[in-house]
Chains A and B, each alone.
Chain A
Amino acid sequence: MEKVMVLLRKAPYGSVYSAEAFRTIMGIAVFEMDICVGFADDGVYTIVKDQNPEKLDMKPLGDGFPMLADFGVSRFIVHKESLSERGLSTKDLVLEVETADSEQFSEIIEEYGRLLPF
């Protein structure tokens, strides 16, 4: 099974990148690939609990991520420093994740080989 890592680096609202990353994961997961989802920089906000973007006429993006397990996507990695720099911990997130420091994070990117950065 081909390995692919989708990396979310940007804040969930204000641009389309995080939403498109989610669509990409859904779109390629049906082709039975080994998909890992990474969150770094402002991308960590994508899976923070209690998002209320309705006033922006957007749907809460975080809600979709726990459902990805049903599509065979079950590995989620969060860049540890990105989380702590923003005063967040894994308890603030909508799903269970692995955390990785910068070195571990780059090792995982290398392990997956094919990277789709958003």
Chain B
Amino acid sequence: MKMGVMVLEGPYQHQAVDSAINFIKAALKRGHEIVGVFLYTDGVNNINKYINPPGERNISKELSELGKNGIDIVACTACSKFRGLRPDLKVENVRQSGLGSLADYLRSADRFVSFGD
């Protein structure tokens, strides 16, 4: 099955992005396809390359790792501008783009799953 994912919350304050990462891993393991992950509103903060939690899971690194494995991960450009997340601050293997990407995921996915508050 083809699945699209949206994340509406940032790192460490809410569980949303952790659940999304776990969901994506579990879905891939079962042979599903993830058409893309759209990071929206505070969700864009999850790809900051300076995230550095001593002794804890590194969320931006985990997302970069998923991107490296071929998952399309997009952070909303406008939301990034609002939050000062310049393109050079993001981890590798993710990109910034607009709501058109969300529309693409909605159209190409059989199921769409949102993680938020």
The reply to whether A20 and B40 form a contact with Cβ atoms under 8 Å apart is yes
Interface size, B (range): 10 to 19
The reply to whether A116 and B99 form a contact with Cβ atoms under 8 Å apart is no
Indicate with 1 or 0, residue by residue over B71-109, a CB within 8 angstroms of chain A CB atoms. Answer: 000000010000000000000000000111011001101
Give the A interface residue count (CB, 8 A): 18
The reply to whether A27 and B106 form a contact with Cβ atoms under 8 Å apart is no
CA distance A30 to B107 in the complex (A): 13
The reply to whether A117 and B99 form a contact with Cβ atoms under 8 Å apart is no
The reply to whether B106 and A28 form a contact with Cβ atoms under 8 Å apart is yes
B7 interface contact, C-beta 8 A = no
The reply to whether B112 and A114 form a contact with Cβ atoms under 8 Å apart is yes
Q: By DSSP majority rule, is chain A's interface helix, strand, loop, or mixed?
A: mixed
The reply to whether A31 and B40 form a contact with Cβ atoms under 8 Å apart is no
The reply to whether A118 and B8 form a contact with Cβ atoms under 8 Å apart is yes
Interchain nearest-CB distance for B80 vs A (Å) = 14
A33 interface contact, C-beta 8 A = yes
What A residues does B100 contact at CB under 8 A?
27, 31
**Which A residues lie at the B interface, using CB under 8 A?**
2, 4, 16-17, 20, 23-24, 27-28, 30-31, 33, 113-118
**Shortest 8 CB-CB distances between A and B: which pairs?**
A27-B99, A31-B103, A114-B112, A28-B103, A2-B107, A20-B41, A114-B106, A4-B106
